[in-house]
Structure 1
Amino acid sequence: MQGTVRNIFWIGIVSLFIWTGCKEPLEVLIPKGDDGQVFAIDTQDSEIPYVVIDTRGASIPYEPGVQGQMKIYQEKKLIQTQLIDIEYRGKTSFRLSDKKAFNFETVDDAGEGEDVSILGLPEEEDWRLIGHVVNIPERYIWDRSLMFNHIAYELSNQIGKYASRGKFVEIEVNGEYMGVYYLCEKVKRDSKRIDIKSLNTSSTNLTGGYILKIDKADAGPEHDGKPLSYFLNNWDDDARYTAQNSFRSTYDILRNPITFPAFGSPYHPNLYLETYFMYEYPKAEDITDAQKSYIAGYLDDFETALLQDDFGAGERTYANYIDIGSFVDYFLINELGRNVDAYRISTFLVKDRDGKLAMGPVWDFNIGFDEGGRIPMDDWVINYNNYVNQDAWMMPFWWNRLMEDPIFREAVKSRWTSLRSSTLSNGNLQKLVSDTSKYLQDNKAVVRNYSKWEVNADRTYDQSILDLQNFLSQRANWMDTKIGTF
Structure 2
Amino acid sequence: MRKRTAAWLTLAAAVVVSTAAQLTFGKIQTRVHQHREASLAYDPETALDCVQETETSKYQYDENAVDIEKLSTHLPLVIVETDEEIPGVPYYTDDQSHRQMTLTSAGEEFLIGNMKIINQDDKLNSPQDTPSLKTQIRIRVRGNTSRWFDKQSFAIKTIHHNGENKKVSIMGMEANHDWALHGPFLDKTLMRNYVAMNLAGELMDYAPDVRFCEVIVNQEYRGVYVMMETVSCGKGRIEIEEPNKTRNVTGYLVELDNDTQPDPLTQMNNFTKYTQILRKDALFDIRYPRKESLTAPLKDYIERDLSRFEKALYSFDYDTQRYGFTNFIDVDEFVDYFILMEVFVQHDTGNLSTFFYKDVNGKFKPVVWDFNNSLGNVSDSSDDDYRIRQFVSVQAPWFTMLIKDEGFINQVIHRYRELRQGILSDTQVSDYIQSVVDYLGPAVDRNFAVWGYSFDPENLDKRNKLSPEEKNPRSYEEAVRQFHDAYLERLAWLDENIDVLKQYCHESAVKKYNH
Which interval holds the TM-score relative to the shorter structure? 0.7 to 0.9
TM-score (normalised: structure 1):
0.74
- In the alignment, the residues of structure 2 paired with residue 14 and residue 422 of structure 1 have an alpha-carbon distance, to the nearest angstrom, of 41
Structure 1 residues 204-223: aligned runs within 5 Å? 204=247, 206=249, 208-216=250-258
Query: Could you say which residue in structure 2 is the equivalent of 1:453?
Result: 451
Q: Which runs of 5+ in 2 are unaligned?
A: 1-45, 51-65, 89-107, 119-123, 457-472, 503-515
Cα RMSD (Å): 2.8
Query: Could you say which residue in structure 1 is the equivalent of 2:91?
Result: none
Query: Could you say which residue in structure 2 is the equivalent of 1:354?
Result: 361
Provide the aligned length of Structure 1 versus Structure 2: 393
Q: Is the 8 A contact 1:60 1:66 kept in 2?
A: yes
Q: Is the 8 A contact 1:321 1:356 kept in 2?
A: yes
Q: Which amino acid aligns with 1:246?
A: Q
Query: Could you say which residue in structure 2 is the equivalent of 1:29?
Result: none
Q: Is the 8 A contact 2:143 2:153 kept in 1?
A: no
Q: Does the residue aligned with 2:372 lie in a helix, a strand or coil?
A: coil
Q: Does the residue aligned with 1:88 lie in a helix, a strand or coil?
A: strand
- In the alignment, the residues of structure 2 paired with residue 346 and residue 318 of structure 1 have an alpha-carbon distance, to the nearest angstrom, of 23
Query: Could you say which residue in structure 2 is the equivalent of 1:58?
Result: 84
Q: Is the 8 A contact 1:40 1:175 kept in 2?
A: no
Q: Equivalent pairs: percent with the same residue?
A: 30
Q: Deviations over 1:122-143 (max 9, x none)?
A: 222211100123xxxxxxxx21
2:487 matches 1:480: no
TM-score (normalised: structure 2):
0.70
Query: Could you say which residue in structure 1 is the equivalent of 2:135?
Result: 83
Q: Give the 3 Å change call, closer, same or farther, for CA 304–54 of structure 1 in structure 2.
A: same
- In the alignment, the residues of structure 1 paired with residue 319 and residue 347 of structure 2 have an alpha-carbon distance, to the nearest angstrom, of 31
Q: Does the residue aligned with 2:132 lie in a helix, a strand or coil?
A: strand
Moved more, 295-304 or 182-191: 295-304
- In the alignment, the residues of structure 2 paired with residue 311 and residue 348 of structure 1 have an alpha-carbon distance, to the nearest angstrom, of 22
Structure 1 residues 299-310: aligned runs within 5 Å? 299-310=306-317
2:110 matches 1:46: no
Please report how far the alpha carbon of residue 407 of structure 1 lies from its aligned counterpart in structure 2 after TM superposition: 0.8
Q: Is the 8 A contact 2:317 2:324 kept in 1?
A: no
Q: Does the residue aligned with 1:296 lie in a helix, a strand or coil?
A: helix
Query: Could you say which residue in structure 1 is the equivalent of 2:239?
Result: 195
Q: Is the 8 A contact 1:341 1:365 kept in 2?
A: no
Q: Which has the larger radius of gyration?
A: 1
Structure 1 residues 1-400: aligned runs within 5 Å? 40-41=67-68, 44-55=71-82, 57-62=83-88, 64-73=109-118, 74-76=124-126, 77-133=129-185, 142-199=186-243, 202-204=245-247, 206=249, 208-216=250-258, 238-251=259-272, 255-256=275-276, 272-273=279-280, 275-310=282-317, 317-360=324-367, 362-372=368-378, 373=380, 376-383=387-394, 395-396=396-397, 398-400=398-400
Q: Deviations over 1:445-484 (max 9, x none)?
A: 1111112112234521111111111111111122222223
Q: Which runs of 5+ in 1 are unaligned?
A: 1-10, 16-38, 134-141, 217-237, 258-270, 386-394
Q: Deviations over 1:194-251 (max 9, x none)?
A: 1111115x24161x310000113xxxxxxxxxxxxxxxxxxxxx31224312113434
- In the alignment, the residues of structure 2 paired with residue 480 and residue 95 of structure 1 have an alpha-carbon distance, to the nearest angstrom, of 37
Please report how far the alpha carbon of residue 331 of structure 1 lies from its aligned counterpart in structure 2 after TM superposition: 1.0
Q: Which amino acid aligns with 1:338?
A: V
- In the alignment, the residues of structure 2 paired with residue 49 and residue 462 of structure 1 have an alpha-carbon distance, to the nearest angstrom, of 23
- In the alignment, the residues of structure 2 paired with residue 242 and residue 58 of structure 1 have an alpha-carbon distance, to the nearest angstrom, of 28
Q: Which amino acid aligns with 1:50?
A: L
Q: Which amino acid aligns with 1:248?
A: N
Query: Could you say which residue in structure 1 is the equivalent of 2:511?
Result: none
Q: Is the 8 A contact 1:249 1:276 kept in 2?
A: no
Q: Deviations over 1:399-443 (max 9, x none)?
A: 122111101101212221222222222222112211111111x2x
- In the alignment, the residues of structure 2 paired with residue 12 and residue 461 of structure 1 have an alpha-carbon distance, to the nearest angstrom, of 18
Compare relative contact order (CA 8 Å, sep 6+) and give the higher one, 1 or 2: 2
Q: Give the 3 Å change call, closer, same or farther, for CA 256–446 of structure 1 in structure 2.
A: closer
